[in-house]
Structure 1
């Protein structure tokens, strides 16, 4: 099988015959002698790697492992000896799988409702005590808004009571008759009459 060789002078790659292994041949382009690699060099490289393996084979790997450290089988995070699940990936360390209860919790993608409602009131009370200035400002704004709403309702009633004409009494209704009563329903007071 021919061997591919690269000339160092002209950088041309050409095929050398198999019988030229370990010898020098001339480059067909620049006529410079080029050494063809022999097949023995690969064998030598393989024997050197075997020597490297013998170095590592003399090591006792059973003592290289840290026996005191406990690792998660899924994410290889270090876990305390008392833990039953991995704090990072939530895998049960005995079975190597995520429990169905934990899968439900992870699918929820939020806080546990039982834990949330237990701490919601305590957290809000703690926040209010630590941010009293903010609480004071919020109360002032709320009192101002409620006062404005009550004032607007009062002004609306005052306008209705002050500017609408009084309702006719029974005697006036009888004097006007039925026709006048229908007209009175649809009569809108003019601004000059107010």
Structure 2
């Protein structure tokens, strides 16, 4: 065999081996390409699902953010109302204390019908008034220390609202007149 024939034989064998290798490689590449395309399709499907889920989550986030803002504004409104209520409660407490003090003062200075009082001892000097009387009201102001006998001023039978003024060194008593409130 000649060199040329050997060379052609080697070249032919190499070509056949190359084509066989190419055929095997092409077949492997075709399978790999098919698998890659399948993976790409699966990945694209997952990407679409994730994008859809992401859009849904973004809508949910927007809704929750809006709801949070509504609740935040409502919370701010409640805080402002609580502050207003606290201010009002403080004002009411002040008025209640003033009224309680006034009621206590009225109770302490109101003279009960049928009781003897001495100015500076059991009553304060000043002007007193009945709320209303029947036709049988009797009251008297006497000089203190005279056993209620030295009458300075008195009245029997007054009807309606009566007013008396007493000062130091005097006693006071009434009968059927009702209570006497200090007015001055």
TM-score with structure 2 setting the length = 0.23
Mark the structure with the bigger radius of gyration. Answer: 2
Greater RCO between the two (CA within 8 Å, min separation 6)? 2
Q: Which has the higher strand share?
A: 2
Q: Which has the higher helix share?
A: 2
